[in-house]
Amino acid sequence: MAHKHNFGAGPCILPQEVFQEASQAVLDFNGLSILEVSHRSPEFVSVMNEAIALVKEALKVPEGYSVVFLQGGASLAFLISAMNMSGANKKAGYINTGVWATKAIKEAKNANLEVVEVASSSDHSFNYIPKDYTIPVDLDFVHFTSNNTIYGTQFKSFPQTDKPLVCDMSSDIFSRTINVADFDLIYAGAQKNLGPAGATLVIVKDAIFGKSTYGTIPTYLNLETHAKKESMFNTPPVFSVYVSMLNLRYLVKNGGVEAMEKRNQAKADLLYNEIDANPLFRGTTAKEDRSNMNATFVLTDESHTEGFNKAWTAAGIVGLKGHRDVGGYRASMYNALEIESVQVLVDVMKKFAAENA
Ligand SMILES: *Cc1c(COP(=O)(O)O)cnc(C)c1O
């Protein structure tokens, strides 16, 4: 089949080289398929260790942090992060920037925390990032979602606070440089920018271990369990970790997060410039908060919907439909999406405008 341009929001596109290596390992990883190999085999233990080391290298994770791979996705990490970060006040601040933040708030309550919504952009359908707010002094931590996959908004600078910061980075981790030392806990489902679905990445400050006020945290949900066992407490998601490791190798070999950030900026600029210049389209979020990962836009005249859908489909583009809660279009431009694919979309938009002027 002809190669498609995958603008889907997740699971994500990965480099072709990674797909090829992964497919090879399905047939022969160490004489066995990666799908049948024991997670206790030395070959897989070294994959896990390399994956953890590559995360540390790519994000310059400082001493005093553990990197763990779990299952359950970001959705379980909503609960895990709240349980493990529960502090003296059993009270946490959440910045509500949409569906995922709202789900995180729900799970914090399930972890018996009192939740203060320190800021929210619900007044404008979550189309911007709240900026002016004060953070109460009696919070155990502040939680935010660095990139709002559904709406296409992204924190360009992170909340300023002396409280521990907890962040759902599912859809923009490894897309830009971050200072891990600013955070106590970062989590991300693998399938948005790291690898295949099945693994959840958590980066956690070791100093939090043993300090939770939640009570007895169930064994699997206690991050210390996994940190102590180097993510081998139980059977890890072997294939997802393996392919994530391949993708991290590729990332580091190709200039790392710094190079990726430049590439992602160039892709985003190319598309947003077209959205702004083309009278048939309009961006849906505040310009200063536009996500470099997920660009959301609508047609200025909905009667063009059928024609535009035909045009991009014919160009081999897939995954451009907006989230069912929001409608319109969403172009997800994760790390592995080539700028050539963005150019194909921009050309379709230009041609469509010329034909429908
Ligand atoms: C996709 C997504 C989630 C949910 O991830 P799962 O791994 O499917 O639970 C949470 N937060 C953000 C920002 C996401 O993009």
| pLDDT tens digits for range 84-123 | 999 999 999 999 999 999 999 999 999 999 999 999 999 9
In the numeric block, which tokens belong to residue 352?
A: 């469509």
Task: Establish whether 162 is a catalytic residue.
Answer: no
Is residue 170 within 6 Å of ligand 1 at its C-beta?
yes
**Ligand 1 center to residue 83 CA distance, Å?**
18
Q: Pick the atom of ligand 1 nearest to 149's CA.
A: 15
- Residue 26 pLDDT greater than 80, yes or no: yes
Alpha-carbon span 210 to 222, nearest angstrom: 9
What is the predicted pLDDT for the residue at 276? 98
**Ligand 1 center to residue 186 CA distance, Å?**
13
Region 188-200: mean pLDDT is 97
What is the predicted pLDDT for the residue at 324? 86
Q: What residue ranges do the domains of the chain occupy?
A: 16-253, 256-356
Domain range 16-253, its CATH number among 3.40.50.450, 2.130.10.10, 3.40.50.720, 3.40.640.10: 3.40.640.10
Is residue 152 within 6 Å of ligand 1 at its C-beta?
no
Whose Cα sits closest to atom 1 in ligand 1?
A: 170
Fold adopted by 256-356: Aspartate Aminotransferase, domain 1 (3.90.1150)
Mean pLDDT across the chain, nearest whole number?
Answer: 97
pLDDT band at 293 (very low <50, low <70, confident <90, very high): very high
Region 287-309: mean pLDDT is 97
Region 153-178: mean pLDDT is 97
Is residue 330 within 6 Å of ligand 1 at its C-beta?
no
Task: Establish whether 168 is a catalytic residue.
Answer: yes
Region 53-68: mean pLDDT is 98
What is the predicted pLDDT for the residue at 1? 65
Region 274-298: mean pLDDT is 98
- Give residue-wise pLDDT tens across range 250-278: 999 999 999 999 999 999 999 999 999 99
What is the predicted pLDDT for the residue at 278? 98
Residues in the chain: 357
